[in-house]
């Protein structure tokens, strides 16, 4: 059996088949305290690709932090081929203030590649780029919806890349969205460095939900198994074929007031079908919202107090929504019904509280 070579990171030498927590100093805060980016490095006994899994690039999007905590307990470097870098909280500043942004009001996911002499966001982006992204051939970055919104677990990938479609299919989230890359985003940066990126969107900011966490844990494991980094016969759930879309639309509130939704994430909808209503404070002058397309609801607002123009539904345009919706239901049921996998190998704690 091939044996991996040592992995060098943060001035440390990590032997094959071992795990090490490393920290990259970022900057000095106003109080004089130092801040650093924490990374857990699981360096496999056998050679293989390097993959990072990151969360909370938007500091209040913490679903991925829960996913990474589970992965950190499950993955065993002695049984691993290749290297996994876990970054449970990329935007450590927004994380502690429950904010999407950094103290300098920047969005970390618009600040890549950053620079060593730049703003706080730029310095953090620079370290993440050089110490994490550039060491890997694949990254899985986990986001949630913004505050007071919920996203059906979904994978977003750059359009027109067959390799990414293959990896996204292996992940097995209910929906795959092919979307353009944004300037300054982690996905944009990764593509410039030839690093494959899957972006998972799931759940709500500042909250945990079981479907999102299970989808993330199982999805990352299925991708690692697909790459030959872990064994694939360790209890991973088999899920159906995800729905795919390359166009999404937002449905916004036609007036300010109080909204009542009759459809939510995961629901199939037909063009012209009722999604919900918004009325005034006395329930007067109710206005309906209908779907502009055939599709699947992939995100919805959870706060009924709305202003005119607030985005209340995000819909992926998909043909045959009922048939696809049934497939999505079967995927989510399989994910939720699955026993935490890998008990024989100690991969998951069965008494996990989510």
Which residues of this chain interact with Zn ion, rule CB under 5 A?
58, 61, 143
Residue 202 burial (CB < 10 Å; 0-12/13-18/19+)?
buried
Using Cβ positions, the residue closest to Zn ion within the complex turns out to be: 143
Print burial letters for 310-342: b (CB count within 10 Å at least 16), e (below 16): bebbbbbbbeebeebbebbeebbebbeebebbb
Residue 111 burial (CB < 10 Å; 0-12/13-18/19+)?
buried
Number of H helices, E strands in the chain: 7, 19
Q: Which is nearer to Zn ion, 200 or 223 (CB)?
A: 200
- Residue pair 227/138 in contact (Cβ under 8 Å)? The answer is yes
**What is the smallest separation between the CB atom of 108 and Zn ion, expressed in angstroms?**
9
**What is the smallest separation between the CB atom of 144 and Zn ion, expressed in angstroms?**
7
Ramachandran region, residue 115 (left: φ > 0; alpha: ψ -120 to 50; beta: rest)? beta
Q: Which is nearer to Zn ion, 204 or 294 (CB)?
A: 204
Q: Which is nearer to Zn ion, 61 or 218 (CB)?
A: 61
**What is the smallest separation between the CB atom of 329 and Zn ion, expressed in angstroms?**
26
Q: Which is nearer to Zn ion, 144 or 341 (CB)?
A: 144
Reduce the secondary structure of 105-172 to three states and give it as a string.
CCCHHHCCCCCCCCCHHHHHHHHHHHHCHHHCCEEEEEECCCCCEEEEEEEEEECCCHHHHHHHHHHC
Find tokens 């009924």 and name the residue.
304
**What is the smallest separation between the CB atom of 60 and Zn ion, expressed in angstroms?**
9
Residue 57, both tokens: 């690039």
Max CA separation in the chain (angstroms): 73
Q: Which is nearer to Zn ion, 172 or 299 (CB)?
A: 299
Q: Which is nearer to Zn ion, 149 or 222 (CB)?
A: 149
**What is the smallest separation between the CB atom of 194 and Zn ion, expressed in angstroms?**
23
Q: Which is nearer to Zn ion, 178 or 294 (CB)?
A: 178
**What is the smallest separation between the CB atom of 143 and Zn ion, expressed in angstroms?**
3
**What is the smallest separation between the CB atom of 311 and Zn ion, expressed in angstroms?**
15
- Residue pair 77/42 in contact (Cβ under 8 Å)? The answer is yes
């Amino acid at each position: 059996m091939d044996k991996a070579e040592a992995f060098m990171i943060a001035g440390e030498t990590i032997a094959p088949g071992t795990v090490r927590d490393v920290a990259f100093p970022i900057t000095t805060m106003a109080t004089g305290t130092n801040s650093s980016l924490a990374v857990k490095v699981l360096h496999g006994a056998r050679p293989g690709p390097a993959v990072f899994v990151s969360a909370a690039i938007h500091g209040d999007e913490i679903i991925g932090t829960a996913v990474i905590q589970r992965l950190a307990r499950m993955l065993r470097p002695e049984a691993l081929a290749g290297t996994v870098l876990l970054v449970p909280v990329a935007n450590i500043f927004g994380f502690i203030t429950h904010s999407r942004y950094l103290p300098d009001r920047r969005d970390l996911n618009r600040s890549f590649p950053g620079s060593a002499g730049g703003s706080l966001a730029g310095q953090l982006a620079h370290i993440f780029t050089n110490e994490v992204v550039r060491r890997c051939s694949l990254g899985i970055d986990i986001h949630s919806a913004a505050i007071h919104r919920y996203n059906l677990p979904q994978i977003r990938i750059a359009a027109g890349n067959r390799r990414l479609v293959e990896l996204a299919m292996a992940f097995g989230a209910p929906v795959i969205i092919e979307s353009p890359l944004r300037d300054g985003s982690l996905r944009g940066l990764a593509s410039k460095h030839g690093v494959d990126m899957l972006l998972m969107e799931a759940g709500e900011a500042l909250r945990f939900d079981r479907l999102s966490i299970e989808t993330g844990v199982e999805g990352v494991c299925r991708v690692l198994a697909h790459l030959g980094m872990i064994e694939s016969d360790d209890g991973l759930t088999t899920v159906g074929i995800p729905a795919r879309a390359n166009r999404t639309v937002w449905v916004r509130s036609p007036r300010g007031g109080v909204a009542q939704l009759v459809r939510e994430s995961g629901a199939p909808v037909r063009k012209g079908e009722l999604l919900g209503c918004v009325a005034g404070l006395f329930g007067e002058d109710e206005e309906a919202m209908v779907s502009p397309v055939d599709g699947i609801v992939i995100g919805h607002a959870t706060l009924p107090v709305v202003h005119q123009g607030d985005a209340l539904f995000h819909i992926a345009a998909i043909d045959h929504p009922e048939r696809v919706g049934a497939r999505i239901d079967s995927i989510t049921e399989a994910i939720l019904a699955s026993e935490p996998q890998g008990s024989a190998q100690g991969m998951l704690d069965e008494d996990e509280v989510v």
